[in-house]
Structure 1
Amino acid sequence: MRLGLLLLALSFQIFPAAVAQTTVPTPASVVPPGKPAPAAASPAVAKANEPTTPAGTWQLVRTIALPQPGVASLDRRGTLYVADVRDNIHQYGPDGQALNTFSPPQPGHVAQLEAWNTTKILVFYDDRQQLLLLDRFAAPLGQFNLLDLLDGTARTATLAPDDRLWLLNESDLTLRQFDANAKTFTHSTPLDLLIGRSRPDFRFLREYQNNLYLVDRVNGVYVFDNLGNYRKKLPFAGLSTIGFRGDELYFLADGAIQFFHLYTLAQRTVALPPGVAADVRQVLVGEGYAYVFTAAGIQVYKL
């Protein structure tokens, strides 16, 4: 009996790691300043053998027929704004019910919609270098001609919570903040040292929780503070847009929604509803509903 207890005690001393072993965390979720991720890297997502959150809890409530939908955005109330193939702006309630439609007086390509401000919706026309502001009923409030503001060409733009404008000047590779009330630029951040010799492909810009996120399809997601000071880079290359929900950033990759926690750096994967993964172009996730964009239109799911 004493001999058996002695052998058992020795086994715990020799093999403690087998009892305390934990799962190894996912590879570098954040690239520190000065150490850019490889340009050819694909979005960092959960491994294929890691468990994913099933989409079985998603309930299809509506299908919106909107061929070739363009850029889209959700406001804080869950209202959805979508550009169609003719660059009209469609407004839908959280459950996908049609509310309003804005038709521009002159043609232009909608490169970005930003509705997170709730009181104002920003529409960026990249071909005519114009910013249009709409109210929450999709009625015009005002507009800015960027050719009068920038000595160059804006590639992407967004509206800050304080109604200031963030602009990415592609001509001189600067990130600039414009105060429309004072009619002056308040901050300017050069990007040439961050980008190096790579050829960036800027696609999306959004200020969220006092940080500014700039999506470069080639290099990843650059993160700045709300004054334009560079903080870090997320190694999610190959993206055209990102979304935010709570404390998480999310994007579509590998036929699933990849969530990345902004503070714990944890990553998780949510599977798409069966039968839609091959045709999905974009996904927006709100508090109660998710919106899956395909070539035929938008599928609205209750979460």
Structure 2
Amino acid sequence: MSVDNYLNQISAKKFRESLHSDCSQCFGLCCVALNITASSDFANHKPAGEPCSNLQSCFQCKIHEELREKGFRGCTVFDCLGAGQMVSQHTFKGQGWRENPAMAEKMFRVFPIMEQLVEMMAYISEALTYPLQLELQKNLSKQLRQLEKLTKLDGDALVTLDIIKYRMPVNELLLKTSVHIRHALIETISSKNKRKLDYRGVDWLGKNLRGKDLRAIDLRGAYLIAADLQDADLRGADFIGADLRDANVSGANLSTSLFLTQMQINSTNGNIKTKLPTHIQRPSHWSN
């Protein structure tokens, strides 16, 4: 590997790890802009654009330390990857929706768009941390620079953005990255362990996968709700779009899982033995 490639990977790793929410720099956008439906994750319904009853004037949650106990588990799962503070401090230059109600609607419309842009940036920057073919690396870097420019647009430009136009080429590049990285890992797996690797969209609700060797499998869009993944080896598994709600990942090795997000991990149950990628923080509700 050349020095330039090494430095690019290190830089991408730091960039990926920097994408996390900072509620102290946000105007409580996730507590206002999003539509919330009453469910096991949310104690009550809240339409988009209406502030949550628990949001204080300082934009902090008055039951932050008791969210799970009071029926707002979904709030502890949500992670905007920093989109909230970008909209609050950069797009709208630190002007809150309470002090400037005329721009409130626009701010609330921009927030989910910024979320998608930052999510794509997170995936791409992670992809760039892996050893890749030069052409693929160049194309990913180009997309990352383009997305970063889009995040700096003003509110008027962002609300009219055709987000699908940008998602399609990004998705294609991430697929190529996944195939490249997983195939490299597959070659290190003993021929005795040859097995099916494509489980895209599989329905594994509640499935017992305890201790299974699931290295390098494709779990894009998979349904893993309440699946038992205790002590499973999930290194190199692709998790884009996978639903991990209530999955048990205690002791599982997710250290090099591909495209795993903080929100996905926040929705699981794990413990101190669970191995996570460096950009993922251990959820506070996990057991020891």
TM-score by length of 2: 0.26
Task: Considering fraction of residues, name the structure with more strand.
Answer: 1
- Rg larger in structure: 1
TM-score by length of 1: 0.25
Task: Considering fraction of residues, name the structure with more helix.
Answer: 2
Pick 1 or 2: higher relative contact order, CA cutoff 8 A, min separation 6: 1
